[in-house]
Amino acid sequence: MVVSQPIIMGVLNITPDSFSDGGLFFDSKSAITQAELMVKEGAGIIDIGGESTRPGAPEVSVEDELNRVIPVIEALSGNIDVPISIDTSKPIVMEKAFNAGASIINDVNALRSEGALQMAASLQADVCLMHMQGSPRTMQTNPTYDNVVSDIKAFFEQRLEACKSAGIKLNAITLDPGFGFGKNLGHNIALLKNLSEFHEFGVSILAGLSRKSMIGSLLGDKDVDSRMIGSVTAALIAVENGADIIRVHDVAETKDALTVWQQIKNFRE
């Protein structure tokens, strides 16, 4: 994707067990209300996910995932004027979400699942390729890198090559280092500080830091409900370091931070 100013991607989790909203938005009607509110608050993309990627989470069946997300996408696609992304790794969910009105595939597995690359190519979708070491069930047990930034760059190189072979164009791709997905606190901080390095591939960069455990750790183990200001701060650092898209739960608060940042940046004495 080509991006001119930072875009806020608002998270809409449609999972009963999602750690950060406690499944509050599980029923379609409140999900729709929540999405519409996020657009009003300044979200430029709504990210819809029905597959919990919580560390240690059980995998969600295709049926459950479809039942959660498709009605919401169908209802939203006529009613909001920002793109909808589908947070999934499953080709069948990608396809049905597309037919329901989604236009971006946000895959924490970077199109490595069987058939995912081909599906994304045939849908001619925009894609976000996120790095994850291991699988959601095991990824937080002793993640290891030689150098977290260069290891992830090597991963991106390989995925970009796979996308190229499948016929997915560079301008359809966004890369995401995957904060918290098989990373310890030191890894996450190194990635945030060196985020601009990922621009060497010439594609847009997404950062998802909102409410994550690294924010909790930095705040002396604050729980998930108390991580909003820390998350906004981290989002601002990501933008300062070149993030084109930031994936957040607290859209209005993040928007205010970006508005102040943007005006100070543009001010000419």
Q: Site residues (CB under 6 A) for ligand 7PM?
A: 11, 18-19, 52-54, 87, 106, 108, 128, 130, 176, 178-179, 206, 208, 212, 247
C-beta of 96 vs 212, nearer to ligand 7PM: 212
Would you say 65 and 88 are in contact if contact means Cβ atoms under 8 Å apart? yes
**Least distance (Å) between residue 224 CB and ligand 7PM:** 9
Would you say 176 and 186 are in contact if contact means Cβ atoms under 8 Å apart? no
The residue number with the shortest CB distance to ligand 7PM is 208
Would you say 116 and 108 are in contact if contact means Cβ atoms under 8 Å apart? no
C-beta of 18 vs 194, nearer to ligand 7PM: 18
**How many Cβ atoms from other residues are within 10 Å of residue 196's Cβ?**
12
**Least distance (Å) between residue 154 CB and ligand 7PM:** 19
**Least distance (Å) between residue 266 CB and ligand 7PM:** 28
DSSP letter assigned to residue 199? G
Tell me, what amino acid is at 225?
D
C-beta of 70 vs 130, nearer to ligand 7PM: 130
Please give the Cα distance from 164 to 176 (Å, whole number). 18
Would you say 169 and 209 are in contact if contact means Cβ atoms under 8 Å apart? no
User: Which position among 90, 96, 183, 247 bears the catalytic label?
Assistant: 247
For residue 125, which of 155, 100, 94, 158 has the smallest C-alpha distance? 94
**Least distance (Å) between residue 161 CB and ligand 7PM:** 20
Please give the Cα distance from 10 to 249 (Å, whole number). 6
Is 96 part of the annotated catalytic residue set?
A: no
User: Which position among 90, 153, 212, 227 bears the catalytic label?
Assistant: 212
C-beta of 11 vs 69, nearer to ligand 7PM: 11
Is 212 part of the annotated catalytic residue set?
A: yes
- Annotated catalytic residues are 212, 247
